[in-house]
């Protein structure tokens, strides 16, 4: 019973980490594309958005 819960938690954390690892490099370009800002401000804004989550 306890090992099933630990396995579920570890899989959930692993999937969450993979999702953040995939979106982190792409987010500044997406912010630049959608908003009217340069890449430097977009990179800072992208990291700030991830920290808020």
Confidence at residue 9, expressed as pLDDT on a 0 to 100 scale: 94
Half-sphere exposure of 5 (CA within 13 A, CB side): 2
pLDDT mean over 26-47: 73
Asked if residue 53 has pLDDT above 60, the reply is no
Separation between Cα atoms, residue 15 and residue 17, nearest integer Å = 5
Query: What angle in degrees, to the nearest 10, is found between the helix axes of 27-34 and 39-52?
Result: 120
Confidence of residue 14 (pLDDT cuts 50, 70, 90): very high
Confidence at residue 34, expressed as pLDDT on a 0 to 100 scale: 76
Asked if residue 43 has pLDDT above 80, the reply is no
What secondary structure, in 3-state letters, does 11-35 show?
HHHHHHHHHHHHHCCCHHHHHHHHC
Confidence at residue 49, expressed as pLDDT on a 0 to 100 scale: 65
Asked if residue 36 has pLDDT above 80, the reply is no
């Amino acid at each position: 019973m306890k090992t099933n819960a630990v396995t579920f938690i570890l899989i959930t954390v692993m999937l969450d980490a993979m999702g953040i690892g995939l979106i982190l490099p792409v987010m500044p370009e997406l912010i630049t594309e959608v908003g009217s800002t340069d890449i430097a401000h977009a990179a800072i804004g992208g990291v700030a958005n991830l920290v808020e989550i």
